Amino acid sequence: LADDLVLNRREDATQRFIEHFEGRDEEAESAEDPTEGMEPEEALHWHILRRKKEGVEDWIDRSNEKIGAVPTLNEVLLPAMKEVGDKFGAGELILPFVLQSAEVMKRAVGRLENYLVRMEGHTKGKVVIATVFGDVHDIGKSLVNTILTNNGYTVIDLGKQVPVDTIINAAIEEKADAIGLSALLVSTSKQMPLAVGELHDRGLDFPLLVGGAAINRDFGRRILYPKGKESDEIYEPGIFYCKDAFQGLDTMDELVDPEKRTELVERTREAARVLREKPVVKDDSPPVTDASVRSSVSTETPVPEPPYWGAREVPVALDAIYAYLDRHVLFKLHWGGRGVKGEAWEQLISEDFQPRMERMWKEQDYLEPRAALGYFPANSEGNDVVVFDPQDHDKEIARLTFPRQPKHDRICLADFYRPLEGGERDVVAIQGVTMGPASTERLTQLERDGEYSEQLFTHGLAVQAAEGSAEWLHSHARSELGIDPDQGRRYSWGYPACPDQSEHTKVWELLRLEDIGMTLSDGYAVMPEQSTVAIIAHHPQAVYFGMKSGFVPEQKVPDELIAGTDRGGEKPPEAEPREDRLEQEAQADTPARA
């Protein structure tokens, strides 16, 4: 089986892996037609639950002839997809399997549309969805589209980095039953309360579903109050946090049922009221802009000598990145292996994920890595990293500004560089990497073709390739600076330690990232999506920290490396990875790394 998949000797190699992982017995495997003798309803159920595309159109024809098109949709296909969702919720199916069922559903519905007259009752409801302005990440939103669409809803997907006015106007024009918003970044999640305020001020009645890695349930409860603490007014139609696509589906199913909708709205309001009335400890902390203090980070550590001053493009070979791919995050988070344990985890890795990754890496033609790395003389002044001209080390050319912890050890990222008043220049390294636009184009095409599971796998690999190239380039910079392979940290904009994405404009001027095909959106998001930029601190006491967490270590804390560790090996650890830095509430203590 492994040879068939790795060597691409059979078209059905992947499916045979999946069936083996599920423990399908030999009798079922040898059956020429498992649906022989079944009624159409039973056969369609089997196709969706077993993720078999071939032959589903014929069974749609037979089911339409027997019970009609609408009953086939409402009584056969939708309940089958509901069962798939229930199995996923119970931990019996991993996400790629769900998406394969959705592919069967798409093919079945495509055939069924030959018999369905598009009229009232054909759709369960209409939902306008978008990734908020400034955010270019949309794989989560695309999953919502897939699940809702294949469970009977009409979805108007506005795409990514969509302004609030555009979203609201589309909902009005489409006469939507609800709006769904997604945000990956803490900084862009602030668009959600703006949307609530605008909806409220205009007296609109669209229920609002919110989700994404940057927020949590309490975030949704807080923004139910459009004017915050200033008023007890609430957004009457309701704000509903959905942790994943299936919770979005469950929420929509309640919203389109008048009785269940009333119960859901009342339940959500009560939870928001209870949270609002919790005693609040008065925060007398100074603002994060306070620059009157400095943390205890040492100012006496040696300053490494860079190999050159200024920015250069660094040639990067795709094969060099491979060892830096974080397979633990790829398999658990991006490819849906979270929750799989023991022997099932071993089988999933050895019989599917690992050979799949090797095959995809070998066959792909959409990863086009480019990288830029710059070394600049620098110092800290208050909360700023002052960047000087590579040729004239006394000429200031930029200031990168960062927030300071209100409490804890009062850390600011600027503290990891020597202070300006000390008179000795430090060095700051800044990097940018991209996988190019081809991966985004491939993902768009896969979604258009209904290849949802392949889209998931491709997106995960492209994202980890970008992260792996950032890890490789950081390792390269450490080597050039002559510091330990695990010394220092790198930080990306958009997270609590460096939240202001408008600072990207300064990075672009310093690194000339447009020369390697990287651009900024109107909301300062990095494009193409599979790209990252980061500032590197070589200081041995550099650590990841948030505004509410993190302390200055007394001595060097080694960075967590990928290459040469279990995370980059063929059998990543079974333990769940720490919740990704993005899966925290907007005010959370989230370390920042790219």
The domain that holds 368 is classified in CATH as 3.10.196.10
Q: What is the pLDDT of residue 119?
A: 40
**Residues 20/351, Cβ–Cβ less than 8 Å:** yes
Same domain membership, residue 505 and residue 395: yes
Mean pLDDT of 488-506: 94
| Residue 584 resides in a domain | no
Confidence of residue 580 (pLDDT cuts 50, 70, 90): very low
503: Cβ contacts below 8 Å, ≥ 6 apart: 400, 401, 493
Phi-psi region of 76 (alpha: psi -120 to 50; beta: other; left: phi over 0): alpha
| Residue 92 resides in a domain | yes
| Residue 204 resides in a domain | yes
| Residue 326 resides in a domain | yes
Same domain membership, residue 157 and residue 104: no
Question: At which of 90, 112, 134 does a domain end?
Answer: 112
From residue 100, give the alpha-carbon distance in Å to each of 115, 125, 141, 252.
24, 23, 17, 22
Q: What is the pLDDT of residue 4?
A: 64
Mean pLDDT of 297-312: 97
CATH number of the domain residue 219 falls in: 3.40.50.280
**Residue 13 pLDDT more than 50?**
yes
Mean pLDDT of 289-294: 92
Share of the chain above pLDDT 90, in %: 71
Same domain membership, residue 489 and residue 438: yes
Say which residue, 490 or 117, is predicted with more confidence. Answer: 490
Look at residues 503, 481, 483, 480 and name the one whose alpha carbon lies nearest to residue 491: 503
CATH number of the domain residue 37 falls in: 1.10.1240.10
Same domain membership, residue 139 and residue 103: no
Please name the residue that has the structure tokens 């909360």: 383
Q: Give the domain range for residue 385.
A: 310-568
Same domain membership, residue 151 and residue 53: no
How many domains does the structure of the chain reveal?
A: 3
Average pLDDT, the chain: 89
Q: Which of 8-22, 173-187, 357-371, 553-567 has the lowest mean pLDDT?
A: 8-22
Q: What is the pLDDT of residue 583?
A: 36
Same domain membership, residue 217 and residue 78: no
Q: What is the pLDDT of residue 577?
A: 74
Mean pLDDT of 432-444: 95
**Angle formed at CA 169 by CA 166 and CA 175, multiple of 5 degrees:** 135
Q: Which of 43-47, 201-205, 587-591 has the lowest mean pLDDT?
A: 587-591
Write down how long the chain is: 594
Same domain membership, residue 329 and residue 216: no
**Residue 544 pLDDT more than 80?**
yes
Q: What is the pLDDT of residue 6?
A: 57
Question: At which of 250, 276, 302 does a domain end?
Answer: 276
Mean pLDDT of 82-99: 89
Confidence of residue 571 (pLDDT cuts 50, 70, 90): low
User: Residue 22 is which amino acid?
Assistant: E
Same domain membership, residue 107 and residue 130: no
Confidence of residue 304 (pLDDT cuts 50, 70, 90): very high
Alpha carbon distance, N-terminus to C-terminus of the chain: 36
Taking the CB of residue 467, how many other CB atoms lie within 10 A of it? Answer: 23
Residue 344 CA to residue 157 CA, distance in Å, equals 36
Same domain membership, residue 136 and residue 104: no
Q: Which of 16-30, 202-216, 221-235, 513-527 has the lowest mean pLDDT?
A: 16-30
**Angle formed at CA 581 by CA 192 and CA 146, multiple of 5 degrees:** 55
Q: Which of 18-22, 101-105, 346-350 has the lowest mean pLDDT?
A: 18-22
Same domain membership, residue 194 and residue 334: no
Q: What is the pLDDT of residue 20?
A: 62
Mean pLDDT of 343-371: 94
pLDDT digits (tens, 9 = 90+) for 39-88: 999 999 999 999 999 999 999 999 999 999 889 988 999 899 989 988 98
CA dihedral (449, 451, 452, 457) in degrees, to 10, reads -130
Concatenating the DSSP letter of every residue in 533-553 gives: EEEEE--TT-----SSS----
Confidence of residue 27 (pLDDT cuts 50, 70, 90): very low
Q: What is the pLDDT of residue 594?
A: 44
Confidence of residue 17 (pLDDT cuts 50, 70, 90): low
Confidence of residue 30 (pLDDT cuts 50, 70, 90): very low
Mean pLDDT of 232-238: 96
Residue 589 CA to residue 187 CA, distance in Å, equals 13
Q: How far is Cα of residue 95 from the mean position of the Cα atoms in its chain?
A: 14
Question: At which of 257, 276, 295 does a domain end?
Answer: 276
Same domain membership, residue 51 and residue 176: no
Residue 337 CA to residue 346 CA, distance in Å, equals 11
**Residue 325 pLDDT more than 50?**
yes
| Residue 104 resides in a domain | yes
Look at residues 483, 520, 575 and name the one whose alpha carbon lies nearest to residue 474: 483
**Residue 22 pLDDT more than 80?**
no
| Residue 1 resides in a domain | no
| Residue 23 resides in a domain | no
Residue 445 CA to residue 307 CA, distance in Å, equals 42
Residue 89 CA to residue 247 CA, distance in Å, equals 9
Confidence of residue 28 (pLDDT cuts 50, 70, 90): very low
Same domain membership, residue 386 and residue 241: no
Question: Which range is most confident: 149-153, 287-291, 408-412?
Answer: 408-412
Confidence of residue 151 (pLDDT cuts 50, 70, 90): confident
Task: Identify the DSSP state of 162.
Answer: B
pLDDT digits (tens, 9 = 90+) for 158-170: 998 899 999 999 9
**Strand pairing category for 126-131 and 178-182:** parallel
Burial class (CB in 10 A: 0-12, 13-18, 19+), 65: exposed
**Residue 564 pLDDT more than 50?**
yes
Residue 240 CA to residue 206 CA, distance in Å, equals 11
| Residue 298 resides in a domain | no
Q: What is the pLDDT of residue 43?
A: 95
* Type and span of the H or E element at 520: strand 519-520
